[in-house]
Amino acid sequence: MIDLGVESHYSRLGVSPNATGAQIRQARDDLIRRLREQQRREPARRAELREREREINNLGGVLAAPARRAQYDKDHEHLRFFTVRSAAAPMFDEAQDRIDVLHRVISAHLRDKGVCLRPLSDLDRDDFSADSTPNDLLDDLIGQN
């Protein structure tokens, strides 16, 4: 069995390497809060849990500071792969995807009810017939059919 040494700061926090600063801070704060609750519940393990709290605080501090995070990413490139990833579909995970999916779903829902929702941009459109330019030479040839 190969020892992968798969501990990255991201995996310790349980966030994706692509997590935003806010998500990282949130994860760090949540973990620390839970560890403190645990310290209250399990006084016998207080020293061990305190040590863990310090560790989470430190690595959270690295990832929360953009420059330190960039340096960490550069030094541990392969660990970006060996990090727990979100398995949720993008619509549940990424704000931008959520909006895209929602917009498509609502468009289809309303279309079924006879209401046409204008596409947000040309990226959402499929019908570009209006973009054709009349061309006498071409249109004559087509008209001969």
Partner 1 sequence: MTATAIDSPRQSLLAAIKDLQKRPVTPAVRIALAEAEFRLALFTGAKPGEARKRLDAAIRHDPFCPKLFLHRGRLQHRGGKLAAALSDYRHVIRLAPASRRAHLLLALVLVDMGPATRALGDLVIAALNSARPEELKAAVSEVDAWLADQVTPDGKPRRVAAKRGGSGAPDAWRLALYELITREKVSADHLAELLKTGLARATGAGEIAEHATACVVLLAAGHQARRVREFAGSLLTEHADHPAVALLDGALRLAQPADPAAYAALAAELVEDGVLPVELVCLFHLAAYGPHRPGTATDALARLDRYPDTIRDSYCFAELRIAVLDGLACRAWAEERFAEARLLWQEASAIDQFRVPVALNLALLAAKTRSERHYAAAWGRLTELLYLHAAGVGDVQLSLPDRRTLHLALVGQAELRHCESSGGRSAQTPEQIRAWLADKDALTEWLRQWDLYYVNARLGFRSPIHLLGVSANTGAEDRVAARDSFVRHIQVALDGWDWAGLDVFAGLATGQARRADQEITANEIRDQYYESELAEARALAEAALNRGLTLRRMMIELLDRSSGEGLRLGHELAYRQLALPWHVLRPICVERGLISDDVDPVALFENDLVSLACFWDQPEPATDQERAERLSALEDCVALLPGNRELRLLRCRAIRAVGREEDAYAAALKALALPTAADERTEPVTEQLINLVDEIGWQALPESVRGPGRSLTPPSVQQVITALRKALRRFPHSGAVRCELARLLAKPGVGKIDEAIELLSVGLQSALSTAQRAKYVELLATTRSVKATLPIRESIHRMTTSALETARKVIGDFTSGPSEAKRQAALAALRPAIEEVTEAQRLAKQAAIDDELPALEDLLRRLRLMVAELDGTEPNDGEG
Q: Applying CB under 8 A, which residues contact partner 1?
A: 1-7, 11-14, 20-22, 27, 31, 34, 77-78, 80-89, 91-93, 95-96, 98-99, 101-103, 105-110, 113-118, 120-123, 126-129, 131-133, 135, 137-138, 141-142, 144-145
Helices (H), 42-129: 46-64, 66-75, 90-93, 95-112
Can you give the length of the chain in residues? 145
The nearer residue to partner 1, 43 or 116, going by C-beta atoms, is 116
Q: How far is the CB of 43 from partner 1 (least distance, A)?
A: 18
Q: How far is the CB of 65 from partner 1 (least distance, A)?
A: 16
Residue 103: closest CA among 92, 81, 118, 90: 118
3-state DSSP of 64-85: HCHHHHHHHHHHCHHHHCCCCC
The nearer residue to partner 1, 54 or 109, going by C-beta atoms, is 109
Q: Rounded to whole angstroms, how far apart are CA atoms 131 and 14? A: 49
Q: How far is the CB of 93 from partner 1 (least distance, A)?
A: 7
Q: How far is the CB of 55 from partner 1 (least distance, A)?
A: 12
Q: Rounded to whole angstroms, how far apart are CA atoms 8 and 17? A: 9
